[in-house]
Structure formats: structure tokens, C-alpha cells
Structure 1
Amino acid sequence: MHGVIGLLVGVAAIFAFSASGFFFTSDEKVTVIETRHLVHKLVEQNFDSKNQRSIRKQITECLRDSYQYLAMSMYFDQAEVALPGFHKMFKEYSNREMSNAVKLMTYMNLREGSNKFLGIPEPRISYEWHDGETALITALRMEHKANTKFQTIIQLALEKNDPHLKQFIEDNFLDQKVKIIKELGDKVTQLGKYSSEKKGLGLQMFDNTLL
């Protein structure tokens, strides 16, 4: 008899705890999910899906450029090429593009965007780079392309009324790209002068300036 009474008291206690909210109900679980979704939307601050896609594409582009510059850097570090200045310069370019990709990923998190990691194409290796000038022109084309893509992101941000994204791209990338394009253009001109004036030693002497 005492056992039955104890069992009934235990069941009553469970119902009492459930009614008081001690145990989560299915409705409360839904409320938690809805709250998280609300927080996500509030932090997202109307971050348009097209703007997010444009940034994800640019992250992939930055990673691809970093991979390409790394391949170029390693090419000039080979014993049969042995141009340490070019090796150093393109290694720095590779690091810069990786940094750019991380900046964009961090921005996506800041705005509660969705980071998705896509495949990176295999870098191209060209034995034509051995003259130095061809490698500089390759880099110059890469930077022109990147600059155009960043401008496209800004244009889309304007269309979607996203001034924060526009300002972020302008402050962190546009000025950088304009300066690098000018820098590479100067280097092409300087290498041409070294090559014409110093004959066979021109490339080696120019490479020393990169160190």
C-alpha cells in the first residue's frame, strides 16, 4: 500500500514539474529556434543574398590568386631559375591575397552571411616566366581582373542599398589594387630599361632591386 502511494506521489510530482516549466515542451523548443532565427536576421541587417554570393565568389578569386602567386613564387625559387627577388615578391603577393580572402570571410561573419568554401582551380605554370617580364604582365592582368570584380561588388551594393558593404570594399581593397597595378606597371618599365642597358645582367640586377 505504501508503495502504491509513493508511486502516485512520484507521478504527481512529475506532472507538477512539467507544468512549472522544469521540463522543455516541444513548443518551447520551437521558441528557441525562432529566437535564434530572429537574432540571425537582426545581425544580418538586410544583407542581400546577391551581395553575399558576390562576396563568396570574390573569396574564391582571392584564394585562387593566392594559389597562383604561390606557384609563381616557387617557380622563381627553383635552382635553374634562381631569382630570389621575384620569389620574395610573389610570395608576398600570395600572402596578401590570402589575407584578403580572410578579410572577406570575417566580414561575412560580421554581417551574419553564409561562408561557403568552393574548390580552387589548379594554378598555371609557364616556363615563359623565366624572363621576368612575362610574369609581371601575368600579375598585372590578375590585378586588373580583381580590381574590376571589386568594382562590380560595389556597384551591386549600391543597387541593393548597402552602404556599409560599399564602404568596406572601398576602404580595404580598391586603394590596394590601384596601388599594386601602378607598382607592377612601374616594374615592367624598369625591367625593360635594365634589360636594354645591361644586356644579359639586366634581369639579375633588377631581381636584386626586388630584395
Structure 2
Amino acid sequence: MASPLAEIIQQNYLSESNAALNSQIQLQLYATYVYLSMAFFCNRDEVALEYFALFFLTMSQRWMERTERLFLLLSERHGFLTLGRIADEGRHDWIDGFMAMECAFHLEKTLNQSLLQLYDLANSNGDICLCKILKRHFLHQQVEIIKEMGGYLTNLRQLGAPENHLAEHLFDKLTLAETTKEN
């Protein structure tokens, strides 16, 4: 039987981990909504960036899948899910695809920082299982998507974006369309 002190430490650990997982889930749901909004924006007739829209829709779906993975983890650990309102803190007034991609890049960096903080918490608490899950299903993918989006922004700038809107359409049809076909 565990000592009362050990039980208090265990409860604090579970409470801290549960709160951190809930916070991460909330941020990921926010990302899902923002990406849906970006996809809708890019798909509008006056914007007409079909493959930008598809890219953002895919990102929304990826974050929903990752969120579901954390739901399952909480359930397996008999944790508590505390869903709040999805904050509308971000910009949803993008004027072009370049601006939406820049916002997406910053969103991914924010998500990465949050995941790293969750990993540090798990590591400091000796939670090997959570560390493995984060490494396998989150952190490595984050590095890749940040690198990919950074490359997209560089390519867009080289084509003349954001001043030249034709650059976005070329990038949409040539780069994002090819990436979509590969995936």
C-alpha cells in the first residue's frame, strides 16, 4: 500500500499531466478550426487557390487525428477530458494565400512549442509512455511540417509574393498540386 505522501505526489502528477494534455487538446482543436477556416477562405471564388485549400483541409484533418490520439491516451489513463470553448483568438481576415500560409507557419511553431513543453513535463515526471507517443506521433512530424511550410514561404517569396498575386496561383498549380498528387 502506498504511503499518503506517495498518493499526494501521484495525484499531483496525474492532475498536472491531465491539465497539460487537456491544454494541448484545446490548442489542437483550435488548430483544426483555423485550418478549416483557411481552407474555406482559399476555396472562395475570389481567391481560387484550390490546392492551398486542399493543403489546409489536410492539415485540419491531421490535427483532428492527432487530437483523437490524445483523447484515447486520456481515456486509457482514466484521465478527465475538459473541453472548453474553442477560442477565436486568431486572425481570420487573410487577404491572400501567402498570408494564410504565414499564419499557418506561426501556428505550427506554436503547436510545436506546446508539444515540447508537454514532452518536458512528461520527461521530468518520468512518463516514458507519453514521451514515446509524443516522439513517435507528434514531434518528428512537427519538424517536417515546419520545414515544409518554411520552404513553401521561401518559394512564394522567390516568386514575388505577397506583392505579386500571380505567384500564389503559380505556386498553387505547380507546387501544391504536385505535392497533393504525391500524397
TM-score by length of structure 2 reads 0.83
The DSSP-based 3-state class of the residue aligned with 1:127 is: coil
* Larger gyration radius, structure 1 or structure 2: 1
Q: Specify the alignment match of 2:65 in structure 1.
A: 99
Is the CA contact 1:69–1:93 (under 8 Å) kept in the aligned structure 2?
A: yes
Aligned length in residues: 165
Aligned-residue offset at 1:127: 3.4
Query: How is 1:61-140 mapped onto 2 (pairs within 5 angstroms)?
Result: 61-122=27-88, 124-128=91-95, 130=96, 132-140=97-105
What's the CA shift string for 1:18-64, capped at 9, x where partnerless?
Answer: xxxxxxxxxxxxxxxxxxxxxxxxxx9x9621011100110010000
Is the CA contact 1:47–1:113 (under 8 Å) kept in the aligned structure 2?
A: no
Is the CA contact 1:65–1:94 (under 8 Å) kept in the aligned structure 2?
A: yes
Q: Specify the alignment match of 2:181 in structure 1.
A: none
The one of 144, 156, 174 aligned to 2:121: 156
The one of 60, 64, 69 aligned to 2:26: 60
Q: Specify the alignment match of 1:36 in structure 2.
A: none
What's the CA shift string for 1:186-209, capped at 9, x where partnerless?
Answer: 00111122237xx66322111112
Mapped to 2, the partners of 1:170 and 1:203 lie a distance apart of: 34
RMSD: 2.2
Spell out structure 1 runs of 4+ moving beyond 4 A.
Answer: none
User: Which amino acid in 1 is paired with 2:14?
Assistant: D
Is the CA contact 1:56–1:115 (under 8 Å) kept in the aligned structure 2?
A: yes
Which one scores higher on RCO, CA 8 angstroms, separation ≥ 6? 2
Q: Specify the alignment match of 2:4 in structure 1.
A: none
What's the CA shift string for 1:55-85, capped at 9, x where partnerless?
Answer: 0110010000000010011001111111101
Mapped to 1, the partners of 2:19 and 2:166 lie a distance apart of: 48
Q: Specify the alignment match of 1:188 in structure 2.
A: 153
The one of 132, 135, 144 aligned to 1:179: 144
- In the alignment, structure 1 segments of 5+ residues that lack a partner are 1-43
Is the CA contact 1:48–1:160 (under 8 Å) kept in the aligned structure 2?
A: no
- Measured at CA, do residues 75 and 48 of structure 1 come closer, stay the same or move farther in structure 2, by a change above 3 Å? same
Q: Percent identical across equivalent pairs?
A: 29
Mapped to 1, the partners of 2:133 and 2:168 lie a distance apart of: 39
User: Which amino acid in 2 is paired with 1:153?
Assistant: L
Aligned-residue offset at 1:86: 0.8
- In the alignment, structure 2 segments of 5+ residues that lack a partner are 1-9, 178-183
Aligned-residue offset at 1:120: 0.6
Mapped to 2, the partners of 1:116 and 1:145 lie a distance apart of: 21
User: Which amino acid in 1 is paired with 2:73?
Assistant: Y
